[in-house]
Amino acid sequence: MGADEVINYREDPDWGKTVRSLTANRGVDHVIEVGGPATLAQSIVASRVGGHIAVIGVLSGVTSQLPLGLALARQVHLQAFIVGSRRQQQDFVRAIEVIGLRPVIDSHFPLEDIVSAFQHQASGKHFGKIVLDI
């Protein structure tokens, strides 16, 4: 699986299986889980045995049923994160710049059209980041 591979979870609800297929059924070493309860099971499916899942978001809520059997079978390391310090954020940004990671951009809105940007976000139809151009 290449670093630039993008799988849209809306178009592929079994994206964990797709990840496994792309990795010859091995799974990935690390998953950055931002969806929360609605996507956690797929993150576990996508993980390799002994893989690491960093939970940093709860976009779909905070109440979840952990698929314990799957988590045990994969022997995943599940680690929850909250917002860190300014120094940690700066370190994180530098690391992203070093590896060349770029976010998926869904759409751009001029700052004057911020209401439309929020409406687009509230619709849930976006995939990736919504950008305000200043």
Q: What does the DSSP 8-state code read for residue 62?
A: S
DSSP 18-60: HHHHHTTT--EEEEEE-S-TTTHHHHHHHEEEEEEEEE---TT
State residue 1's pLDDT score.
Answer: 52
Backbone angles phi, psi at 97, to 5 degrees: -65, -40
Q: State whether the Cα torsion 58-35-85-131 is positive or negative.
A: negative
Q: What percent of the chain has a predicted confidence (pLDDT) above 90? A: 58
Domains and CATH numbers, the chain: 1-102 (3.40.50.720), 105-134 (no CATH)
**pLDDT tens per residue across span 25-72:** 999 999 988 888 889 999 999 999 999 999 987 777 778 888 999 999
Question: Could you tell me the pTM of the whole model?
Answer: 0.64
Residue 82: pLDDT above 90?
A: no
Q: Which amino acid is at 28?
A: V
Q: What is the DSSP code (8-state) at residue 132?
A: E
H-run or E-run covering 92: helix 86-99
pLDDT digits (tens, 9 = 90+) for 89-118: 899 889 999 999 888 999 999 999 999 999
Q: What are phi and psi of 63, to 5 degrees?
A: -100, 130
pLDDT of the residue at 62: 78
